[in-house]
């Protein structure tokens, strides 16, 4: 079976499994797991933040960021395509009492300058805007990337209005590769960043939330509140360290995505917007048959895709 459904279906490498087997561990709720501590220091350095926190999933990392940056009853602006808006089970409202305020094209030149129109005026009957959530690369837009200059525009505007900026960087390493820059060239325009060690980086579990020391100290408390305080998780952090030590295979993923997209773009009944294939995703419009039929036919040929 060739599994193209998602980059979440990756499996840990032999090196990861060996590192997991021999990892030194301790109780991470006491911050005494040396492997977790090593991973957190390493991750903070990569994204050029003061501190980092190992969390079970990307969703928890994003939700901790929202909970930690915001008090109840405020708003966080995000793109209409954002993962936090579509795929996190309305958690911002449910867990943090935060209303998401989606806007179109927050990630590109078409809409970025409209951001200030979505920041609430300080009127007695309006919610306060507290946070902007960016996503780079933007999953639902086909893994397209937000340029460093665009991130800088958002960051400057956010600062002007006293807002914080959180980056859902689940695939920030893919974005940096596509932009030929360092991850820290993107994260410098944020107050906090979440990135996934699973997905393209290949670790079996875990994400990182990074930010200032003070922010991470509070996020650590909130992680415990949500039941995410974990004990001897050095065995998981060990795989994360291996994942961060060598990210060179991501380039191969991007090349394969290009190859697949170009091949599919010339087939009848399929439409691929090649300029949107920028990282490790290929989105294809099926024009001649129902999507379910297409995915079923592929499945019968040993190819799994997400419809």
Minimum Å gap between C-beta 170 and ligand PLP is: 3
Which residue's beta carbon is nearest to the bound ligand PLP?
Answer: 58
Give the binding site for ligand PLP (CB under 6 A).
8, 57-59, 62, 83, 135, 139, 168, 170, 196, 207
Q: Which is nearer to ligand PLP, 58 or 211 (CB)?
A: 58
Separation of alpha carbons 43 and 41, rounded Å: 6
Q: Which is nearer to ligand PLP, 53 or 119 (CB)?
A: 53
Q: Which is nearer to ligand PLP, 59 or 222 (CB)?
A: 59
Q: Which is nearer to ligand PLP, 119 or 200 (CB)?
A: 200
Q: Which is nearer to ligand PLP, 49 or 83 (CB)?
A: 83
Minimum Å gap between C-beta 15 and ligand PLP is: 22
Q: Specify the 3-state DSSP secondary structure of 160.
A: helix
Separation of alpha carbons 263 and 258, rounded Å: 8
Nearest partner of 81 among 133, 5, 129, 120, judged by Cα: 133
Minimum Å gap between C-beta 83 and ligand PLP is: 4
Contact yes or no for 84/66 (Cβ under 8 A): yes
Minimum Å gap between C-beta 40 and ligand PLP is: 17
Segments of the chain assigned E as strands: 2-3, 51-55, 75-79, 99-103, 129-135, 164-168, 192-196, 207-211, 270-271, 285-286, 303-304
Contact yes or no for 184/47 (Cβ under 8 A): yes
Minimum Å gap between C-beta 274 and ligand PLP is: 22
Q: 119 Cβ partners below 8 Å, 6+ apart?
A: 77, 129, 161, 163
């Amino acid at each position: 079976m060739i599994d193209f459904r998602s980059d979440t279906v990756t499996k840990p490498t032999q090196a990861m499994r060996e590192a997991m087997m021999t990892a030194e561990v301790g109780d991470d709720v006491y911050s005494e797991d040396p492997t977790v501590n090593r991973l957190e220091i390493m991750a903070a350095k990569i994204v050029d933040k003061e501190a980092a926190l190992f969390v079970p999933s990307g969703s928890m990392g994003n939700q901790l960021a929202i909970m930690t940056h915001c008090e109840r009853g405020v708003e966080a602006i995000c793109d209409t395509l954002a993962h936090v808006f579509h795929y996190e089970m309305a958690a911002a409202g449910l867990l943090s009492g935060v209303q998401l305020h989606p806007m179109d094209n927050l990630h590109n030149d078409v809409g970025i300058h409209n951001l200030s129109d979505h920041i609430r005026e300080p009127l007695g009957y309006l919610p306060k805007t507290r946070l902007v959530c960016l996503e780079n690369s933007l999953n639902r837009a086909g893994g397209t990337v937000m340029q460093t200059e665009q991130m800088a525009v958002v960051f400057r505007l956010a600062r002007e209005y006293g807002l914080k900026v959180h980056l859902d960087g689940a695939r920030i390493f893919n974005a940096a590769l596509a932009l030929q820059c360092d991850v820290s060239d993107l994260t410098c325009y944020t107050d906090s960043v979440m990135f996934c060690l699973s997905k393209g980086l290949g670790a079996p579990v875990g994400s990182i939330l990074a930010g200032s020391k003070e922010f991470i100290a509070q996020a650590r408390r909130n992680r415990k509140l949500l039941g995410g305080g974990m004990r001897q998780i050095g065995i998981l952090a060990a795989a994360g360290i291996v994942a961060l030590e060598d990210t060179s295979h991501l380039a191969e993923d991007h090349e394969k995505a290009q190859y697949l997209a170009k091949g599919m773009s010339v087939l009848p009944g399929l439409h691929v917007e090649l300029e949107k294939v920028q990282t490790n995703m290929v989105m294809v419009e099926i024009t001649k048959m129902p999507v379910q039929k297409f995915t079923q036919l592929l499945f019968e040929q040993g190819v799994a895709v997400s419809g």
